[in-house]
Amino acid sequence: DLEARCGLMVFKGEADEEARGEKSYYGRWSATEYKGSGYVQVLPTNASEAALVLRGLRETGWIDAATRAVFVDVTVWNPALDLISLAKLACELPPTGEVASFLQLRTMKLRMIVPALQTPLLLLPEGALLAMTAGFMVLEARRARRSDPVDYLLSWWTWLEWCSMATFLAAFTLRLRPYWLVARVGFPPAPDEFVNYESAMWAVTQWQNLMALSTLILWLRLGKSLDRVLFMRRILRVLG
């Protein structure tokens, strides 16, 4: 499936942007924000038919001097490998007459975004971590009430604790968001129908980034336990 979109010709409003599953795009050439709505042409998967559509767009001047950006989105599904890939080619057309292009690629397992392919057993470990995080938040809140407010807020261990828990909660939210988005539009799409899964795949990517950040914070929190060991305490004091 192939989609081409002119980004700054006519905007149809936020409702159209949400319905199509498009995310806003911030230009590389300029700081312009291109909304997810605009003129859309879905190209058929047949090469000959797609060539006819493109020829018609060229003859009717679908891309003209007022066009500031053209986006081509390609979604590929490999059932044998259970992989879905998304490629976005963004072409900005500044008034100077040049073309600034940018290519973005995302590939992941289909079960990361399709709820029908996910089983509760795979989400059980993450659910257990969520329950543990909620328990730690309750314990930390009790400790905060018993502690001196100034000493509690000035301790960098306190900030690490709360940053760790907040990061994991945000990551878990992004973990479930793709299932909600894909459940609304369905999978797989009908023949010659383009469904943009960019928002769902973006959420998975951000979930992975937040989990990496949460892991880093957890490693830093180990210093709080190492401080109880005399030898490691001296090392930590030397390191500042």
- Over residues 63-82, the pLDDT tens digits come to 888 888 888 888 888 888 88
Q: How far is CA 239 from CA 98, 134, 156, 234, in A?
A: 52, 32, 15, 9
Answer yes or no: is pLDDT of 95 > 50: yes
Locus of tokens 């010709």:
9
- Predicted pLDDT of residue 204: 93
- Residue 37 amino acid letter: S
Highest mean pLDDT among 33-42, 173-182, 223-232: 173-182
Q: Tell me the percentage of the chain whose pLDDT exceeds 70.
A: 80
* Model pLDDT, residue 12: 29
Q: At 19, is the pLDDT very low, low, confident or very high (cuts 50, 70, 90)? A: very low
Q: Would you say 10 and 38 are in contact if contact means Cβ atoms under 8 Å apart?
A: yes
Output the pLDDT for position 219. Answer: 82
Average pLDDT over residues 124-147: 86
The per-residue pLDDT for 2 is 36
pLDDT digits (tens, 9 = 90+) for 157-208: 888 888 888 998 899 899 989 999 999 888 888 777 788 888 899 999 999 9
Higher pLDDT, 199 or 26: 199
Q: Which helix (H) or strand (E) holds 93?
A: none
What pLDDT does residue 231 have?
A: 60
Q: Which residues make beta-bridge pairs with 107?
A: 85
**What is d(CA 141, CA 59) in angstroms, rounded to the nearest whole number?**
66
pLDDT at 233 over 90: no
pLDDT of residue 213: 92
Global pTM?
A: 0.74
Q: What average pLDDT does the segment 25-34 reach?
A: 71
Alpha-carbon torsion, ordered 18, 175, 77, 46, to 10 deg: 0
Look-up: residue for tokens 């940053």? 163
Predicted confidence band at 44 (pLDDT cuts at 50, 70, 90)?
confident
Residue with more model confidence, 40 or 230: 40
pLDDT, the chain, mean: 79
